[in-house]
Amino acid sequence: MKTCHLLFALCCLPLAAHAQTQWVLQPFMQYFGHVRGTVLGFRVKGFVGSHSNNPYNVAVAEGYNPIINDPRLLFYHISAPQDTIPRWIVWGANNVDYGDFNDDSLTDLAIRKSINTDHDDTVLVYLGNATGIDTIPSFKLLAEQQRSAFGRRMCVGDLNNDGTDDLVVTAPTYYLDFFGQEYGKVYVYFGGSAIKSRPDFTITGNCVGAGFGSQCVIGDFNSDGFNDLAIRGLYQSGTGFSYGYLNIRPRQIRF
């Protein structure tokens, strides 16, 4: 019988640090799953640099829980090896990202709920408050179509340079034709006083099987002081093979 477990490690750096110093990982804790088939650690997200209102420092997804026939997202605050009891459980969820989406200097969460194994997907935005994070979502971002894997990947950053975090949600199995051929699509939602239910900007894969949006990340890749968006796909038109490709959208392109 297969079991899944999580291993948390601490990074230690010697005091006499120099350019060639190596980081050393020291085992900190292990946590084993208790239900066969749950795929504990399907995704793991750390909340590094979040605001003090966030009571969690790590979220762990179960890819599938056979008891409820859907995934779960478990939120922890781990400071000691015995901290294995989640402080919050979101049923039917399997992905999360975080940022300050409404510019109030508090951490908010964007959580993907995937009911019926990717058939009906929704991204829920939970706003931060003075004592923590709301457990009732303030905004719902609905999938444009079923089975598009909406929210399978998300990334957060300020894309339009207004000082507020924006949310990128991908749907790598989005299809354009009657036969369900997967092109993939990426949705950009600008942050502000309220996140709109409709995206401010979308990008669609350029060919059948593109899988556009299988990964995404935001960062300043060309060192010009503005954030850029990188999106991974699985197949590029004209190659005839699934090499994978990376589509980078620099800030010079107006979002």
Give the integer Cα–Cα distance in Å for 215 and 63. Answer: 17
The answer to whether residues 94 and 114 touch, using CB atoms and an 8 Å cutoff, is yes
Number of C-beta neighbours around residue 192 at 10 A:
15
Predicted confidence band of residue 114 (pLDDT cuts 50, 70, 90): confident
φ/ψ (deg, to 5) at 185: -150, 145
Q: pLDDT digit string (tens) for 210-228?
A: 888 989 999 998 888 889 9
Q: Which of helix, strand or coil describes residue 91?
A: strand
* Angle at 141 (CA atoms; ends 89, 123), nearest 5 degrees: 25
Give the integer Cα–Cα distance in Å for 166 and 149. Answer: 20
CA distances in angstroms from 240 to 179, 224, 237, listed in the order given: 20, 35, 7
More confident call, 82 vs 247:
82
Show Cβ contacts of residue 198 under 8 Å, excluding neighbours closer than 6 positions.
Answer: none
The answer to whether residues 204 and 183 touch, using CB atoms and an 8 Å cutoff, is yes
> Per the structure block, which two tokens stand in for 134?
């709301």
Judge whether residue 18 has pLDDT over 70: no
The answer to whether residues 130 and 111 touch, using CB atoms and an 8 Å cutoff, is no
Q: pLDDT digit string (tens) for 38-60?
A: 888 889 999 999 999 999 999 99
Residue whose entry in the numeric block shows the structure tokens 């804790």: 29
CA distances in angstroms from 5 to 17, 20, 61, 225, listed in the order given: 33, 33, 12, 40
Predicted confidence band of residue 177 (pLDDT cuts 50, 70, 90): confident
